[in-house]
Structure 1
Amino acid sequence: MGSNRVEDEGGIGSAVSSRRHADNEPYKVGVPPKQNLFKEFKFTFKETFFHDDPLRPFKDQPKSRKLLLGIEAIFPIVDWGRRYKLSMFKGDLIAGLTIASLCIPQDIGYAKLANLEPNFGLYSSFVPPLIYAFMGSSRDIAIGPVAVVSLLLGSMLQEEIDPKNKVEYQRLAFTATFFAGLTQFALGFFRLGFLIDFLSHAAIVGFMAGAAITISLQQLKGLLGIKTKAFTKNTDIVSVMRSVWTTVHHGWNWQTILIGVTFLAFILFTKYLAKRNKKLFWMPAIAPLISVIISTFCVYITRADKQGVQIVNHIRRGINPPSLDDIHFTGSYLATGFRIGIVAGMVALTEAVAIGRTFATMKDYQIDGNKEMIALGTMNVVGSMTSCYVATGSFSRSAVNYMAGCNTAVSNIVMSLVVLLTLEVITPLFKYTPNAILASIIISAVVGLFDYDAMVLIWKIDKFDFVACMGAFFGVVFISVEIGLLIAVSISFAKILLQVTRPRTAVLGKIPRTSVYRNIQQYPEAAKVPGVLIVRVDSAIYFSNSNYIRERILRLLADEEEQLKANSQQRIQFLIVEMSPVTDIDTSGIHALEDLYKSLLKRDIKLVIANPGQVVLDKLHASDFANTLGEDKIFLSVGDAIMTLAPKLEP
């Protein structure tokens, strides 16, 4: 019984399939009812921009309830805050204190990556996390500066203004941050978040890995004690290594190397222990702060700064000063800030959304991508007005936040308050912190960005994806961060274009003892039907690929005819195009089918279509091609077509 089972190839329904075979007659595909153009456009628009139906909760609700739902939509904290319990605060408090101990030394180091003073890194972990806690929908994401965005921002800004010109450099940084936030907000407000999906996972893996190498190489300056003047401003590996080796005899400082390497080994060892034992997650979280405290104390009592060990020096005390007046809303730097802001904002958004989705999946809850973008955009716009630079979700801090048992975004509030306390009280204590420690912290933080296992998996799954991954990686490492990002985007788009313009086609054969027709390459036992060539098109047919599909089908036909002629077998009399994967067709696609039909007529071969979807069938009838072809040439399935055509085949 199992061997004689008939499968419904088009997914049209078991009732149709059973009735058809009970009567032993093929089911006729009739003319579909005309679709309402307005309803069709409305459905398409809704699925593109409002597939999650954000207005559903508001239906049939009183005005007071609608107002509350509207407030909750903008500020999710109003929703979950009503259900917040004191028992939940313990987890949020521990998580907040843990990520604060990690973020403080990281923020100082990341600010240096962006060529900004250390206090700007701390500013960016004070205001933005507070804004996000009220507007964000993720429970686990930890907000603040991150290494990749800091490096990207710093490398792009220094191409326009020398970091030594601190005032103008900071103004451009605030301007870029403002437009980064505006870009993120606009994408969420206009529900265009799907645009960030055009940057493929493979390209992101390669970009992040390249950025990890570049960031680590940049930290050799601090780790070896090389003075800034003697070190290149370029980020490519050749320039950096040249700067390192040309200063080996007169620029390296052995005390700095000892401090940096010792504490780098300590931090990496705590990460290793935490990886072996998940209960020790807190060790790599507090290791950077412990390293800062111990190294700062050692430098202070030994006055190693007098021996050439470079230190942080003065960090401005106090909370964020306003910076609205520093943003370029006019002038020559407006366009520059806009351009840098869009790039930095998109990279920051991609990282944050990926992190948010990852932890939401782990805890089995949903995040609203568009709300996330609005929250991230708002916090960066406000941040640009309060002396912050681009902030986003940090993977290392978010992982610690998750492992520490956070329950809600209150952990971000706790972290923000600890940073506030640091800004008001503790910053003078960082004066003797050696730069080598900050370099060690940054290197240890970006090690996780190099995902070797993901690269191996990409190679196994899709070679073209691996090309995109390696293109982004080598672009970042050997040229620059911006070029690497551009290569990543370009290869991602190239892959999309290639898949759209060169879709797969397959010749089908009949699986023995069934009425199922499948790809003969996938199923070598599948037998071709004498006198019939069955071709499946595995893509929608648009102007971009219609000519290729027509030519591809004709090439398959020519190859088949040549093979049959050589073996003195029955010639091809019918060409069946199986269209179940064809989700849509446009005018160019219809014209391609018409041209195919005319070409086949000249060869005395009849064109048959099997299993077209509703959208395709509508357009075949609207264009009158169905009448040209003949309704007796459109079938529910390949099996039905063969059943009908079999008596018409010439011996």
Structure 2
Amino acid sequence: SNGSVAVSLPPPADPSNPRDGEKSAWYSRANHDERMRRVVDRARRGCTKKLLYKRIPVLTWLPQYNLSVAASDLVAGFTVGLTVIPQAIAYANYGLYSSFMACFVYTIFGSCKDSPVGPTAIAAILTRENLHGLGPEFAVLMCFLCGCVVMLMGILQLGFLIDFISGPVSVGFTSAAAIIIATTQIKDLLGLSFPGSKFLDVWEQLFEHISETRLWDTLLGFACMAILLLLRKAKDIPVGPADTNKRTTLQKVLGQMLWLISTGRNILVVVVCAVMAYTFKLHDVEPFLLTGYVKPGLPPFQPPPFTATVGNTTYSFLDMTSSLGSALFVVPLLAILENVALAKVFSDGRAIDATQEMLAIGACNILSSFVSSMPVSGALSRGAVNHASGVATTFGGIYTGILVILSLYLFTPYFAYIPKASLAAVIVAAVVFMVEFHVVKPMWRTKSEPDCNFCSGFRSFMELDLIPAIATFLSCLFIRLELGIVIGIGINILFLLYASARPSVHVEKVTSSSGCEYLLITPDRSLVFPSVEYVRNLVTKAGMKEGSSCTPVVIDSRHIQGADFTAAKGIKSLIEDFVKRNQPILFYNLKPSVVEVFQGVQPKEFKHCHNEAELNELLKGSEFRGIASAFAWRNSDTIKGKPPQTNPKPDLPVIGSPVYCESDTLDHSTTE
């Protein structure tokens, strides 16, 4: 009867019947073959040359690699190597072990040529906070597990999780981490020795042991810091004309020398201090605290430890994992955040594949754990050096890794003469620029000043970007770094939920081209379960207070892009409330998808229109004529005998003074 074609299906197979059993086996084999064919087709579609080049980026540029590109990578790689060696020694005893394997791996899988993967200040302080008092085996296992977590995130394409870490949260975390890192180095700058790594503990211990300050360590530390900060500006000294083409050969050479000295300032200061300490040692004078013995040679290539013994306690794999706690999730997230942020800074407008960066950083950490590495990521400071050095491809990391390996083979015995104060100065001079005070004013300016009205003022307060930044900063300083960033993300999500639950609702009286006056209510966003009850109350109160119960209410839904079941139930209750008091309500500009959601709960008297002509027809229809006349009579009686205002332009409605409703209390003082 409905035009469909009837298809006769075979009766179900009877297993007791031999023929039916053969049919069942044939159908089973056919279904299995069909499933296998689909799996093979899906795998064949996934394993394409394009995907292979996307997941192994080295294949895209290696065929075109030439001598000029290799020269650029060579200069950049060795320059970054001169920067990473003193930083790695300062970050951790195993810092150099973390500085070569990741360089090789990222060359193959990395997509950002400017990202030098290795130990970072943030990774070092997070490792220190979570492993204080435990052995280095825990740091190596953390590197392996962090790599596994990041790799899994990349396989599952969870790059969108980075979007939940907003700029203010990142600023608060980075600034707090920089201050904590600098605080932990103060004792080495002053030649002190005491336990404690937390912010308040270090300052408490510092004031208790301030009388034990060593004069020569203090002088050396602050002198190194001043020299490093001055050399940082050496590259900005103008040499000759601003146009490089007009400079003489001598001026160009001098400019390159200043740039090289500025870029390699860390290694220069550390080498000079080590030579000084070695000279004093030859004369049996030890004015400085030295780094001490560093194990020479490369670390053995072996799997990360899954058991460890610290003192008289033996830790199993589960014990070690539980000891790491939340760091197993926070450290990978921050590693990705650091590297993606670095890639965006030097992307030159290119799109960044967060999934590929996750896979690359995951592989770097997993393989680095086989050479006793701590967690690694891209370092922004070395990325700037890499970019300024003119790196052309990720092959620059190969030269950096080779330089680190040579230093481990040849220069490890001399690392023992490096004064601790000089290494502390290197770290402080590097992290002091991570404190982003300069973004406070722009963050304050991005939001308007709070309104004097309580609800509007609270909304403005909730929109201030400074709130999550300050909360993250203070939580990281006084609680823990990983908890601080979780608190910041939680506050950001709370702000998002509040914004979703408290939309702005625009209320105004409008006269249609046919002379019918009605109340136009416009929500500014989609209706979802946190906001539907709030919007329902606003619409109900606006309909009751703005005029009479006979005034038609039109909800302009042009901003409602979606709705859910709870919103549909709320709209159904709203319509029922209006029907009970005989007040018309219409929905205007509803999306078809939203109409389907609303109709799914089968509301009664649900009327909607898609254009102004349909709206005018409904407003001047038979069921609204009496209402409009009664309203016009009352309006003329109350407004000094004047008839309702009509629209001089028949195609456009006349709009009265708008009222912006942002709370349960409506302001009608400006409504005509």
Question: TM-score range, shorter-chain basis?
Answer: 0.7 to 0.9
Give the one of 121, 124, 139 matched to 1:150: 124
Aligned to 1:101: 82
Residues 550-581 of structure 1, C-alpha deviations (whole Å, 9 max, x = no match)? 123334445x52xx5xxxxx776122222222
CA distance in 2, matches of 1:577, 1:398: 53
CA distance in 1, matches of 2:328, 2:406: 30
Give the TM-score normalised by structure 1. Answer: 0.78
Give the stretch that moved more between structures: 329-338 or 202-211: 329-338
1:451, 1:640 → 2: CA distance?
56
How do 1:163-174 residues align onto structure 2 when only pairs under 5 Å count? Answer: 163=134, 169-174=135-140
Please report how far the alpha carbon of residue 534 of structure 1 lies from its aligned counterpart in structure 2 after TM superposition: 1.9
Partners of 1:208 and 1:89 in 2: CA distance: 34
Partner of 1:45: none
Aligned to 2:611: 636
Tell me the residue number matched to 1:110.
91
Check whether the contact 2:184–2:197 (CA below 8 A) recurs between aligned residues: no
SS at match of 1:324: coil
1:179 and 2:145 correspond: yes
Please, what TM-score do these two structures have when normalized by structure 2? 0.75
Contact 2:277 2:286 (8 Å CA) reproduced: no
* Mapped partners of 2:76, 2:127: distance in 1: 29
The equivalences for 1:56-95 within 5 A come to 68-95=49-76
SS of equivalent residue, structure 1 residue 600:
helix
1:128 aligns with 2:119: no
For structure 1, the 5+ residue unaligned runs are: 1-59, 112-116, 164-168, 516-528, 565-569
**Alignment counterpart, residue 320 of structure 2, candidates 327, 333, 356:** 333
Q: For the Cα contact (< 8 Å) 1:177–1:341, is it kept in 2?
A: no
Verify the 8 A CA contact 2:169 2:472 in the aligned structure 1.
yes
- 1:276 positional shift: 7.0
Q: Give the C-alpha shift of residue 305 in structure 1.
A: 8.8
Distance 2:413 2:395 in 1: 28
1:77/1:580 CA distance change after superposition, 3 Å: same
**What percentage of residue pairs aligned between the two structures are identical?**
24
Question: How do 1:53-452 residues align onto structure 2 when only pairs under 5 Å count?
Answer: 68-111=49-92, 117=93, 120-158=94-132, 162-163=133-134, 169-227=135-193, 230=194, 232-236=195-199, 238-250=200-212, 252-274=213-235, 282-303=260-281, 306-328=285-307, 330-337=317-324, 339-360=326-347, 363-452=348-437
Q: Which amino acid aligns with 2:475?
A: G
Q: Structure 1 642/409 Cα, relative in aligned 2: closer, same or farther at 3 Å?
A: farther
Secondary structure at the counterpart of residue 370 of structure 1: helix
CA contact (8 A) 1:180 1:390 kept: yes
Give the partner amino acid of 1:506.
H
Of the candidates 523, 537, 562, which is equivalent to residue 584 of structure 1?
Answer: 562
Query: For the residues of structure 2 that align with 1:556 and 1:282, how far apart are their CA atoms?
Result: 70
Measured in 2, the distance between the counterparts of 1:307 and 1:508 equals 82
Partners of 1:134 and 1:255 lie apart in 2 by 46
For residues 598-637 of structure 1, the aligned pairs below 5 Å read 598-625=576-603, 628-630=605-607, 633-636=608-611
Q: 1:340-393 CA deviation, whole Å, 9 max, x = no partner?
A: 222211111111111112211xx2323311011011011101111221110001
Name the CA distance, whole Å, in 1 between partners of 2:556 and 2:300.
66
User: What is the letter of the counterpart of residue 253 of structure 1?
Assistant: R
Cα shift readout 1:183-223 (whole Å, capped 9, x = no counterpart): 11111101111112112111111111111111111110111
Paired amino acid for 1:245: F
Structure 1 equivalent of residue 21 of structure 2: none
Give the residue type in structure 1 aligned to 2:537. Answer: E
Shift in Å at residue 65 of structure 1? Answer: 12
Cα contact 1:315–1:428 (8 A) shared by 2: yes
Q: Distance in 2 between matches of 1:332 and 1:210?
A: 30
The AA in structure 2 aligned to 1:326 is P
Pair 1:468 & 2:468 matched: yes
Give yes or no for contact 1:281–1:404 (8 Å, CA) kept in 2.
Answer: no
In the alignment, residue 411 of structure 1 is paired with which amino acid? G
Confirm or deny: 8 A CA contact 1:210 1:476 kept in the other structure.
Answer: yes
User: For structure 2, which runs of at least 5 residues remain unmatched after alignment?
Assistant: 1-40, 243-254, 308-315, 448-462, 633-672
- Note the alpha carbon deviations across 1:236-275, whole angstroms, 9 max, x for none: 2x3222211211212x111011111111111112223446
Distance in 1 separating the partners of 2:611 and 2:287: 82
> Which protein, 1 or 2, shows the higher relative CO under an 8 Å CA cutoff with sep ≥ 6?
1
Q: CA–CA distance in 2 between the matches of 1:70 and 1:454? A: 39
Q: What is the identity, as a one-letter code, of the residue corresponding to 1:91?
A: S
CA contact (8 A) 2:147 2:365 kept: yes
Question: What residue in structure 2 maps to residue 27 of structure 1?
Answer: none
The answer to whether the 8 A contact 1:132-1:375 is kept is yes
In the alignment, is the contact (CA less than 8 A) between 2:550 and 2:582 conserved in 1? no
**In 2: Cα distance, 1:467 partner to 1:441 partner:** 32
Preserved contact between residue 175 and residue 435 of structure 2 (Cα < 8 Å): yes
Counterpart Cα distance in 2 of 1:508 and 1:371: 51
Which secondary structure does the structure 1 equivalent of 2:521 belong to? Answer: strand
- Asked if the contact 1:125–1:145 (Cα under 8 Å) also holds between the matched residues in 2, the reply is yes
Closer, same or farther in 2 for the Cα pair 1:284/1:540, shift >3 Å? farther
Cα deviations across residues 15-70 of structure 1 (Å, max 9, x unaligned)?
A: xxxxxxxxxxxxxxxxxxxxxxxxxxxxxxxxxxxxxxxxxxxxx99989965434
Judged with a 3 Å threshold, the aligned counterparts in structure 2 of structure 1 residues 628 and 640 are, in CA distance, closer, same or farther, namely closer
More displaced stretch, 597-606 vs 421-430: 597-606
